[in-house]
A and B are shown apart, each in its own frame.
Chain A
Amino acid sequence: GQQVMQIPQYQHVQEGEDFTTYCNSSTTLSNIQWYKQRPGGHPVFLIQLVKSGEVKKQKRLTFQFGEAKKNSSLHITATQTTDVGTYFCAGRASGTYKYIFGTGTRLKVLA
């Protein structure tokens, strides 16, 4: 079945440093979504990527979708303490109705 791997599992950075998490799917995706979960909270939608090679930006966050639509990345520039949380990718394979989540990357930002 479809599998979505995400690395790294954990990342500790000093405030102001950059951060990147990578997502790889075993199957070609129709679309991929990114979510953020704060400690004790529920996942909250960040963005969706649909097109091959697509790049989207939200302030300090940059999201990329690979050319083959099997991988994606989230890059945060100059991290802040408010970026703390776990970031998940969720991919939906073509012809399916289900979103399979990656294992998540837990980000800690040291002030």
Chain B
Amino acid sequence: NAGVTQTPKFRVLKTGQSMTLLCAQDMNHEYMYWYRQDPGMGLRLIHYSVGEGTTAKGEVPDGYNVSRLKKQNFLLGLESAAPSQTSVYFCASSYSLTGDNSPLHFGNGTRLTVT
């Protein structure tokens, strides 16, 4: 199994450009999450999804949009990138919220720089 795959691994954008980050999981997980990681800030939740066709806002949703048209994919979009969105983005998924299947499985991350 590939687990959680994020594409691309690296990207440099200019201010105002748009892009989409793709997260794909092959574990039939219901729950998917997008986090951003900045030095000294830990991981902050951007958006999450509790199942196909559903999305919800996390701690820092402004400037981002998401979609979960298929259960295995969770897309994160930046419509007009800003330097403040320079960060490492992690996607995570889990099968359930409780019990042995609740641990989050993370992708390898996307390092985004906005100039």
Contact = CB atoms under 8 A, between A and B. Distances in A.
Contact of A100 (B41, B59, B106): B59
Contacts, number: 60
B106 A99 contact: no
B74 interface: no
A54 to B, nearest CB: 14
A43 B98 contact: no
Interface in B32-89: 33, 35, 40-45, 48, 50, 56, 58-59
A92 B35 contact: no
A110 interface: no
Interface residues of A, number: 25
B113 interface: no
Contacts of B33: 98-99
B103 to A, nearest CB: 4
Nearest to B48: A98
A104 interface: yes
A101 B97 contact: no
Given A1-B59, A99-B104, A42 B90 contact: yes
Given A97-B48, A98-B33, A103-B40, A92 B97 contact: yes
Contacts of A44: 106
Given A48-B103, A97-B56, A42 B42 contact: no
Contacts of B44: 101
Nearest to A6: B42
25 contacts: A1-B59, A30-B97, A30-B98, A31-B102, A33-B104, A35-B104, A42-B90, A42-B109, A43-B90, A43-B92, A43-B106, A45-B104, A48-B102, A48-B103, A88-B42, A88-B43, A90-B43, A90-B104, A92-B97, A98-B45, A98-B58, A99-B104, A100-B45, A100-B59, A104-B42
